[in-house]
Amino acid sequence: MLVELSQIVSYRKILVICHDLDVYTKISNIIRKRNLKVEIYPYMPPRKAFVHEIVVVVEARADKKLVVNHMATLYTFLSTETSFLLDLTAALKKAFIRKVDVGIDPGLNNIGIAVVADGILVIGETLSNTYEVLSIIKEIAAYNPLINKIMLKIGNGENYKMLLNKLLRIGEENSSRFSIEVVNEAQAKRCILSIKSLRDRNVIDALKILACKGYRRIL
């Protein structure tokens, strides 16, 4: 069963600790934008204040480390919004991300995208141009540690060929980890998908595309 990241964090005790005010501001904006109910500090609080299951410590750029004992603590750095959301997902799962599936509902002005990391819907939104889509895909490809398997499924709707060619270039640079399929949109629209909290029609269509088997494998 597919679950949204915002739903999972709403019933878990999560603390994010930032190493400076600039990072604190950037992460606060991400949390607000994504409606994530987590506690955030611009400094290290006293240890006795820790009553959390999950702690994400955002430091200056360094090697990532996930420590799991009575609570999960992820030491990481901030590079992009996508990487932070994947980090948060990894901390919740107590394991780094192994597989990401991306469904794309193409269009001229509205492009639906759904990013599912190890079964959790991390990103679901409507984007206005192909540049934004490609930025997210590049960030997923560059995520540290590298994700073993990345599957992209794109509908064969309006404007899909131009976007597909650009996605293919990214995929070819990471061919051992990438798969790309084209999905029949007419068939995808007949899929029944029920996620009560989702209202964005383009995201729902992107998830339907992701749920369908492609008729053509490109990579």
- Pair 118, 196 in one domain: yes
- Pair 117, 208 in one domain: yes
Euclidean distance between CA atoms 194 and 191, whole angstroms: 10
Asked if 109 and 130 count as a contact pair (C-beta separation under 8 A), the reply is no
- Pair 149, 174 in one domain: yes
- Pair 66, 137 in one domain: no
- Pair 107, 87 in one domain: no
- Pair 104, 208 in one domain: yes
- Pair 11, 118 in one domain: no
Residue 41's CATH number: 3.40.50
What pLDDT, on a 0 to 100 scale, did the predictor assign at position 47? 66
Task: Tell me the Ramachandran region of residue 196: left when phi exceeds 0, alpha when psi lies from -120 to 50, beta otherwise.
Answer: alpha
Q: What domain range is 188 assigned to?
A: 99-217
Number of domains, the chain: 2
Last residue of a domain, one of 93, 127, 155: 93
Mean pLDDT by 10 residues, the chain (219 residues): 90 92 96 95 76 90 88 94 98 97 94 97 96 97 96 94 95 94 94 79 95 93
- Pair 86, 112 in one domain: no
What pLDDT, on a 0 to 100 scale, did the predictor assign at position 107? 87
- Pair 106, 60 in one domain: no
- Pair 103, 185 in one domain: yes
Which spans in the chain are helix H?
5-10, 21-33, 81-93, 130-142, 160-173, 185-188, 201-211
- Pair 116, 31 in one domain: no
* pTM for this prediction: 0.95
- ∠ CA 194-198-202, nearest 5°, is 100
pLDDT in tens, 93-113: 999 999 999 999 998 889 999
Residue 103's CATH number: 3.30.420.140
Last residue of a domain, one of 69, 93, 117: 93
| Beta-carbon count within 10 A of 122 CB | 22
What pLDDT, on a 0 to 100 scale, did the predictor assign at position 49? 63
- Pair 166, 137 in one domain: yes
Last residue of a domain, one of 93, 124, 150: 93
